[in-house]
């Protein structure tokens, strides 16, 4: 069984530009989550999809962040426009049930 995959593994953009991160969950997993770790801080929850519906988006920092999961398969997280404080590692996780979340390797975002 393939694990959670994320693309790209690394992205370097300038402040003000747009970046789109992609997450492909494990096949059959209805639950999909986004987390991030910014420099020196703890891993923080961003949002939770159940299939294509946003179940909990209370962790999204502001309206520059937009997450979608069309068709209930892969998900994208767009940051527009990117700010310096958005730099960090963005993790995606998926689960069949809520108990065990399987994480991807993360996307390292650097905003310069």
Partner 1 sequence: DAKTTQPTSMDCAEGRAANLPCNHSTISGNEYVYWYRQIHSQGPQYIIHGLKNNETNEMASLIITEDRKSSTLILPHATLRDTAVYYCIVRVASDRGSTLGRLYFGRGTQLTVWP
Residue among 29, 91, 109, 111 that touches partner 1 (CB under 8 A): 91
Task: Using the minimum distance from each CB to partner 1, give the nearer residue, 59 or 81.
Answer: 59
Q: Is 55 in the site for partner 1 (CB under 8 A)?
A: yes
Residue among 65, 82, 88, 104 that touches partner 1 (CB under 8 A): 104
Q: Which two tokens stand for residue 98?
A: 């809520």
Please give the residues from 14 up to 33 whose contact with partner 1 meets the rule CB under 8 A.
31, 33
Contacts with partner 1 by CB under 8 A: the residue count is 25
- CA 63 to each of CA 70, 73, 78, 80: distance values in angstroms, whole numbers, following the listed order: 19, 23, 10, 9
Instruction: Compute the least distance from the CB of residue 81 to partner 1, in Å.
Output: 26
Task: Using the minimum distance from each CB to partner 1, give the nearer residue, 22 or 44.
Answer: 44
- CA 44 to each of CA 35, 71, 90, 102: distance values in angstroms, whole numbers, following the listed order: 5, 26, 9, 16
């Amino acid at each position: 069984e393939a694990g959670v995959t994320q693309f790209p593994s690394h992205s370097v953009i300038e402040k003000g530009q747009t970046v789109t991160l992609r997450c492909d969950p494990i096949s059959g997993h209805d639950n999909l989550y986004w987390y991030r770790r910014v420099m020196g801080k703890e891993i923080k929850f961003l949002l939770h999809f159940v299939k294509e519906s946003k179940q909990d988006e209370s962790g999204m920092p502001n309206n520059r962040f937009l997450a979608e999961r069309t068709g209930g398969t892969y998900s994208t997280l767009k940051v527009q426009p990117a700010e310096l404080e958005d730099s960090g590692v963005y993790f995606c996780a998926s689960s069949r049930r809520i108990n065990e979340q399987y994480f991807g390797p993360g996307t390292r975002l650097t905003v310069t």
